[in-house]
Amino acid sequence: MTSSAWGLLALFLVLLLVAAWPLGIWVARLCAGNLPVWMHKLEAPLYRLAGTAPDKSMNWSGYALALLAFNLLGVLAVYGLQRLQLDLPLNPAGVANVSADSAFNTAVSFVSNTNWQGYSGEAAMSYLTQMLGLSVQNFFSAATGIAVVFALFRGFAAQSTGEKTATASFGQVGNFWADITRITLWLLLPLSLVLALFFAGQGVIQNFAAYKDVATLEVTTYSQPQKDAAGDVVKDIKGEAVMEEFKADKQTLAMGPVASQEAIKMLGTNGGGFFNANSAHPYENPNALTNLLQMLAIFLIPAALCFAFGRVVGDTRQGWAVLAAMTLIFALAVVAIIPAEQVGNPQLVALGVDQTLSPLQSGGNMEGKETRFGITASALFAVITTAASCGTVNAMHDSFTPLGGMVPMVMMQLGEVVFGGVGTGLYGMLIFAILAVFIAGLMIGRTPEYLGKKIEAHEMKLVSVAILVTPILVLAGTALAVLAGAGKAGIANPGAHGFSEILYALTSAANNNGSAFAGLSANTPFYNTLLGMVMWLGRFGVILPVLAIAGALAAKKRLPATGGTMPTHGPLFVFLLIGTVVMVGLLNYIPALALGPMVEHLMLWSAK
């Protein structure tokens, strides 16, 4: 790595720490309901309207049912908006209704915090759909993830069976309706407002104007088949298509309320772009400063949740330990991806192409990257967005080198626990922490404990389900796609890279990331249906066992630490946790990775 790459990584981590620490204090207060009186007064009408009381705690099953019902209603609302958008207001471009399979896929995608997009945003979605459907779910899906980790916090913090505490009692994990209200009102909305205003000031557009036609600097001449009134291609006497010449002297620029959606897409680790090019588009990400702020926004809440976790359970060292494990894995991924992109393409070297870094060029593999960001900022962004289940991109991952493209894939396959999505990353990492202390307990012959709670057979069965759901979905879905004719039809690059495209798509869907190797044509009934089902099961197939674990822990007596208690805040535990994540999370995928990016890397370098 170059000195500038090290400098950017260090700057990013320092700024993240400075911003996340105070936010973590506020998030801990949100979890405990320790809010100013005026906030409680503003919330009260919402609770009365919903017919609930914020201090009425639920057991884990009641919490889960409320969560599922809320998200199912979200799917129906987003689906309906897409299917009716042509007849609804705020559609100046006259965008047509979305097909049934694409609407289903998109509705599940945004409700599950995946934000996978098989369509071009500016060509497929009206302003109303973008705002009332997609942006609203950006808030609610993010709030859902944070609510689940709040429930798990309370499970660890509960003091004893049957004894009511400030956080939980007899298996109760809080009130879902209060959690999602407070997270949305007092965390996501204020942060999004500030960030949206900053983005707008930097040049991210925010308007309701109609699309604009502007004159291009050059006139482009092109030919295309002539069509008759019925839309059929006109053919000559030889049966060949009659071509007609056109001149393009203007370009249509899409407008819209972008800054407001951009802010929550980053803060909520959502990732769905207003434009097809996502954060590579200058209207979404105009300059290096907005690029840095977008990267910080992606990690901000996940990092703050680590600090909040330590405060809620009464030991801030626990939060630091989890954050340290996440940061070390993240740094190793950055150190792997940047050199892989800086080395360039060996086959171009054989053609005499100069790919070395110099004052006149960035060098390396610049295919699919914006020149205003270069390799370092693009590669760092790729790791951040896949480590945090955000899925937004400022470069095309499909154009990365084989090993460079494998790094984002691996970050997702670890279970999106390296910072991860808002809430989802931390509860995923805590599941691995439970597994780590269970393994350590077996090694020393003691009943495993984590934060004073005994980890027994019931919890380990639930942990196994939570960990195995996504690998099963990824590998089974990939197998189905490469066997089905409709699945193979979407491959644009046959061979190892085509397999990587499918593996990446299923990995992204099951882990609720949303980024893609875009060479795969996935906007088909087959992929829209398959990926929609995988996204839903990947989201709620993990949430349900996590909530069940929270309920089980809340019902357990919290034991005091003794001389035989394994410390879970020191360097030894940090490395044990990292080893558990890598060994358990990644080993499932080694054979699949060998068939895709690893083979492609060997083929690329053997042919130089």
User: Is a pLDDT exceeding 80 seen at residue 28?
Assistant: yes
* CA 302 from centre of chain: 11
Name the band, by pLDDT with cuts 50, 70 and 90, for residue 232.
Answer: confident
User: Is a pLDDT exceeding 60 seen at residue 162?
Assistant: no
pLDDT per residue as tens digits for the range 319-361: 999 999 999 999 999 999 999 999 988 888 878 888 887 777 7
Cα-Cα-Cα-Cα dihedral sign, residues 116, 478, 386, 606 = negative
User: Is a pLDDT exceeding 50 seen at residue 168?
Assistant: no
Phi and psi based region of residue 368 (left: phi greater than 0; alpha: psi -120 to 50; beta: remaining): left
* CA 37 from centre of chain: 34
pLDDT at res. 347: 84
* CA 420 from centre of chain: 7
The CA distances from residue 231 to 225, 234, 236, 237, 428, in Å, are: 11, 9, 16, 19, 53
pLDDT at res. 369: 94
Average pLDDT, the chain: 91
Residues sharing a CB contact under 8 Å with residue 99, sequence separation 6 or more, in sequence order: none
User: Is a pLDDT exceeding 50 seen at residue 412?
Assistant: yes
User: Is a pLDDT exceeding 80 seen at residue 562?
Assistant: no
pLDDT at res. 607: 65
DSSP 270-322: ----SSTTGGGSTTT--SHHHHHHHHHHHHHHHHHHHHHHHHHTT-HHHHHHH
If one compares 552 and 242, the residue with the highest pLDDT of the two is 552
Lowest average pLDDT, out of 143-152, 164-173, 209-218, 454-463, goes to 164-173
Name the band, by pLDDT with cuts 50, 70 and 90, for residue 164.
Answer: very low
pLDDT per residue as tens digits for the range 494-524: 899 999 999 999 999 999 999 999 889 999 9
pLDDT at res. 170: 55
User: Is a pLDDT exceeding 90 seen at residue 186?
Assistant: yes
pLDDT per residue as tens digits for the range 290-330: 999 999 999 999 999 999 999 999 999 999 999 999 999 99
Name the band, by pLDDT with cuts 50, 70 and 90, for residue 267.
Answer: very high
pLDDT at res. 174: 92
Name the band, by pLDDT with cuts 50, 70 and 90, for residue 407.
Answer: very high
pLDDT at res. 608: 56
User: Is a pLDDT exceeding 60 seen at residue 450?
Assistant: yes
Q: Which two tokens stand for residue 316?
A: 């801030």
Q: What is the mean pLDDT of residues 119-131?
A: 93
pLDDT at res. 248: 78
User: Is a pLDDT exceeding 80 seen at residue 275?
Assistant: yes
Name the band, by pLDDT with cuts 50, 70 and 90, for residue 548.
Answer: very high
pLDDT at res. 235: 81
The CA distances from residue 159 to 306, 318, 433, 449, 527, in Å, are: 21, 17, 20, 14, 47
Residues sharing a CB contact under 8 Å with residue 14, sequence separation 6 or more, in sequence order: none
pLDDT per residue as tens digits for the range 60-119: 999 999 999 999 999 999 999 999 999 999 999 999 999 999 999 999 999 999 999 999
Look up residue 394 and give its amino acid. Answer: N
Q: What is the mean pLDDT of residues 21-26?
A: 97
Name the band, by pLDDT with cuts 50, 70 and 90, for residue 236.
Answer: confident
**Which SS3 state, helix, strand or coil, does residue 227 take?**
strand
User: How far apart are alpha carbons 204 and 268 in whole angstroms?
Assistant: 18
pLDDT at res. 195: 97
pLDDT at res. 446: 77
**Structural contact between residues 532 and 108, judged by C-beta atoms closer than 8 angstroms:** yes
pLDDT at res. 231: 72
Across 27-31, 222-226, 449-453, the highest mean pLDDT is recorded for 27-31
pLDDT at res. 349: 80
Name the band, by pLDDT with cuts 50, 70 and 90, for residue 204.
Answer: very high
User: Is a pLDDT exceeding 70 seen at residue 163?
Assistant: no
Q: End-to-end alpha-carbon separation of the chain, Å?
A: 23
User: Is a pLDDT exceeding 60 seen at residue 166?
Assistant: no
Report the predicted TM-score, pTM, of the whole model to 2 decimal places.
0.92
User: How far apart are alpha carbons 119 and 430 in whole angstroms?
Assistant: 35
